[in-house]
Amino acid sequence: MYKVLLRQIAIVVLSVVPLFAQSNRYVAVSTVRARAFALGGAITSIKDDLAAPYYNPAAFSLYANKKVNRFTFFINPISAAVSGIKKGDLFSGEGSSEGDILLSIGQIVKSVTLSMNSLEFGLILGEQSIQKPLSFYNEEIFNVDGFRQNHSHLLVGRLKLADQVSIGASASLIYSSQPMQPLASQKDIGLSYGILIQPEKGLSIGVSLVNLPDTIRTNRLSLERVVDEAVNVGVSYNYKGSTIMLDVKNIGEESEEVVREFHAGVEQNFLGHLSLRAGWFKRANGGHVYSWGIGLINGNSIWNLDKLFNHKNLFLNYAFVYEDNDVQDLKWHFLSFNIRI
């Protein structure tokens, strides 16, 4: 059954992905961030469920009906299938028993959330890292090389202060390969804080601050363009299913890693079950990054009114990101498949 599921997912991916000769990188086993990458990372002001805590914890949002207290579970069938088939590869190299327990749970249950009136909490497990040693990358779609040494778990909390204002914070347990020892891992804690303001219908303004430990202060720099101790500001406007968004990354901090940049994205929803996305930004150190993506199957359509999310809950999301580099152009493919129950 696992092999049949993997084969069907691979067919979906390959049907929308041009087959380039080289420099393809796949993040398709266990990630919640495909929508964010499709939008050029310009989602500091965008409400979302599992992707939001990585960019602005205050934008982490679930149910439209805040009066019912409930737990929600998100299942990732791809990671469950891959871990069953490639267990040996997934757990190769060095690791810890407690880390392996969390990683194993995360291959089945991607996230658990708790909603209580104006409070929402979430635990996201086994998020695949995009920043890992080059020796771990290959042309395989469901590649798990280096996963054990390069992943993260995140705990997020969000408080709605008023109809127009929310604040949030998150803490991440981040595993990364040790320098010069790819198969050995180190772990650190990263923190982020945010606020989301909606001054009028359709308009949102988000501000976030990310704190990363010194050992991995550039861990999110290569493609996400997020650095330690810098402020990110985003503005978005939604009108009849169309959303445009603009982020300014890394303002208010002066250091050698700072890459103050504008990131832009656009999303168009069709017929409730389809979203088309595109994004762009120019790196401060040169080169353009273009992205596009698609979202399918709105989970809101299968639940009653009490269980509707206050945004589209698309189960299947794909993103293609093209990096225009001086040395080698890179093509990234992201696939998120998370079903809530």
| Confidence (pLDDT) at 256 | 59
For the segment 297-315, the average pLDDT, to the nearest whole number, is 87
Q: Is the residue at 101 inside a domain?
A: yes
Name every residue whose Cβ is closer than 8 Å to that of residue 245 and which is 6 or more positions away in sequence. 39, 42, 43, 45, 46, 234, 235, 236, 237, 264, 265, 266, 267
| Confidence (pLDDT) at 16 | 47
Bigger pLDDT: 106 vs 66:
106
| Confidence (pLDDT) at 81 | 93
Quote the percentage of the chain above a pLDDT of 90.
Answer: 63
Q: What is the pTM of this model?
A: 0.91
| Confidence (pLDDT) at 151 | 94
Q: What is the DSSP string of 66-85?
A: TTS-EEEEEE-HHHHHHHHH
Q: Is the residue at 14 inside a domain?
A: no
For the segment 288-313, the average pLDDT, to the nearest whole number, is 90
| Confidence (pLDDT) at 234 | 98
| Confidence (pLDDT) at 251 | 84
| Confidence (pLDDT) at 254 | 58
CATH number at residue 75: 2.40.160.40
Q: Is the residue at 112 inside a domain?
A: yes
Q: Is the residue at 17 inside a domain?
A: no
Q: Is the residue at 180 inside a domain?
A: yes
Give the domain range for residue 117. Answer: 2-8+23-340
Bigger pLDDT: 155 vs 138:
155
Domains in the chain: how many in total?
1
Q: Specify the range with the lowest mean pLDDT, choosing from 12-21, 116-125, 199-208.
A: 12-21
Give the other-Cβ count within 10 Å of 14's Cβ.
12
d(C-alpha 218, C-alpha 89), whole Å: 27
| Confidence (pLDDT) at 180 | 86
Burial (Cβ within 10 Å: 0-12, 13-18, ≥19) of residue 240 = exposed
Bigger pLDDT: 104 vs 327:
104
- pLDDT, tens digit, 9 for 90 and up, residues 216-227: 888 888 889 888
d(C-alpha 35, C-alpha 20), whole Å: 22
* Helix/strand/coil for 108: coil
| Confidence (pLDDT) at 21 | 41
* Confidence class for position 20, pLDDT limits 50, 70, 90: very low
Bigger pLDDT: 195 vs 304:
195
Q: Specify the range with the lowest mean pLDDT, choosing from 9-18, 136-145, 175-184.
A: 9-18
d(C-alpha 134, C-alpha 288), whole Å: 21
| Confidence (pLDDT) at 255 | 57
Q: Tell me the pLDDT of the chain averaged across its residues.
A: 88
Question: Is the per-residue pLDDT at 13 higher than 60?
Answer: no
Quote the percentage of the chain above a pLDDT of 70.
Answer: 91
For the segment 167-184, the average pLDDT, to the nearest whole number, is 93
| Confidence (pLDDT) at 307 | 86
d(C-alpha 43, C-alpha 51), whole Å: 9
For the segment 230-244, the average pLDDT, to the nearest whole number, is 94
For the segment 234-249, the average pLDDT, to the nearest whole number, is 96
Q: Is the residue at 15 inside a domain?
A: no
- pLDDT, tens digit, 9 for 90 and up, residues 145-162: 999 999 999 999 999 999
Burial (Cβ within 10 Å: 0-12, 13-18, ≥19) of residue 283 = middle
* Confidence class for position 301, pLDDT limits 50, 70, 90: confident
- b/e for 291-308, b at 16 or more Cβ within 10 A? bbbbbebbbbeeeeeebb
| Confidence (pLDDT) at 250 | 86
